Amino acid sequence: MWSFFHKLGSPPWLYKISGSILRWLLPITLVALAVGLTWGLLFTAPDFRQGNSYRIIYIHVPAAVVALAGYYIMAIAGAVSLIWKMKMADVAMKACAPIGAAFTFVALLTGAIWGKPTWGAWWVWDARITSMLVLLFLYLGVVALYEAFDNKEAASKACAVLSLVGMVNIPIIYKSVDWWYSLHQPASIKLTGGSTIDSSMLYPLFWMIASFYALFACAMMLNMRVEILQREARTGWVKRLALGGASRGAKS
């Protein structure tokens, strides 16, 4: 366990293992997304109240779920970077921020598209929606802080602190529909008790959530690989990698 943890701190090892994982995970993810979208958007039955407009949950819910999980990953990476000064944790935190922001934006956008026919408005200052908007600003804040500092170590510390402080927003997002009056419907999928969504609609939703997790993992590994190459550009192993790629290109 500890040896694996230490390997994660090695840029060459992480670059190599992420490339190996991406070779099979990326095509599987693309196929899974295509299957899930086809299943959810074309083959599930219309909802008896919302008709076909509910189908946007197959994008909206997975995006929201993964956006929240992504913040946990970013905050944990920030804590590891802050406590153990682990460079790859800082790489993970930086790589995670723009991806989390993108997933949060998709969740907000698809929520607005669903809200127009359901509530009669693109946007309302609902507790759930507002706290998700705060999540977007937290992600963008981490992105902006990295760009604002010339000193990368200071940037890492500031981003780690912001990530950890922003964790207070996550339980607010989860419990907002229970704590305050909200137009947003309560959770349809519950860990305890029965779900309020029919199994014919639930299974493709689970499929899409899993597919979005895989998509997040692929995007994060790709981002991390780019960041590793930028940070390690002057090292011998990156130069050898570049020379190897150049020689293969010349041979072809």
**pLDDT at res. 116:** 87
Distance CA 173, CA 214 (A): 23
CA 42, 48, 52, 55 torsion: positive or negative?
negative
**pLDDT at res. 73:** 97
**pLDDT at res. 48:** 78
Contact between 101 and 132 under an 8 Å Cβ cutoff? The reply is no
Could you list the pLDDT tens digit for every one of the 252 residues in the chain?
556 556 677 899 999 999 999 999 999 999 999 999 999 999 998 887 788 888 999 999 999 999 999 999 999 999 999 999 899 999 999 999 999 999 999 999 999 999 888 888 888 888 899 999 999 999 999 999 999 999 989 999 999 999 999 999 999 998 887 777 666 766 666 655 556 688 889 999 999 999 999 999 999 999 999 999 999 999 999 999 888 765 565 555
Contact between 44 and 200 under an 8 Å Cβ cutoff? The reply is yes
Instruction: Give the CA distances from residue 41 to residues 63, 164, 199, 205, 246, in Å, rounded to whole numbers and listed in that order.
Output: 16, 37, 15, 10, 44
**pLDDT at res. 249:** 56
**pLDDT at res. 194:** 59
Contact between 115 and 35 under an 8 Å Cβ cutoff? The reply is no
Residue 63 makes CB contacts below 8 A (sequence gap 6+) with 103, 104, 106, 107, 110, 212
**pLDDT at res. 47:** 85
Its pTM stands at: 0.92
Give which of 109, 30, 37, 106 is closest to 68, Cα–Cα: 106
